[in-house]
Amino acid sequence: MKQILVPALLFLLAACGAQPAPQFFGASRSEITLEGIDFVVFRKEDRAEVIRMGYLTLAERAPVPRLMEEAVRRTTGCTPVPGSMVTGLPGDTGEARFRLDC
């Protein structure tokens, strides 16, 4: 039973993809690739959440905050408010949230 359950569970988790935080349920979803890095952007009113897809080494993560801001700009048509970028952990390049100036 365990031999069947574990692979099935892993398959279901892999199929989930990017999911928004609860505050962004019902948000519009956009996908964009910048400099070879895939991002999913969720926009709800004057806020946006960006999720970086895929694995990057530590050295490859340096441009990600700049690219997250650009992903928001291009997909929403709004300007991220300067200094509004918030991450779950300091320096996290996997997920960020922005306030928007539209």
Q: Is 57 helix (H, G, I), strand (E, B) or coil?
A: coil
Q: Check residue 10 and give its pLDDT.
A: 44
Q: Check residue 92 and give its pLDDT.
A: 82
Q: pTM to 2 decimals?
A: 0.80
Q: Check residue 14 and give its pLDDT.
A: 46
pLDDT digits (tens, 9 = 90+) for 48-77: 999 999 999 999 999 999 999 999 999 999
pLDDT digits (tens, 9 = 90+) for 1-39: 556 555 554 444 444 578 988 899 999 999 999 999 999
Residue 2 token pair: 């365990």
Written as one letter, the residue type at 37 is I
Question: Any idea where the domains of the chain sit in the sequence?
Answer: 19-101
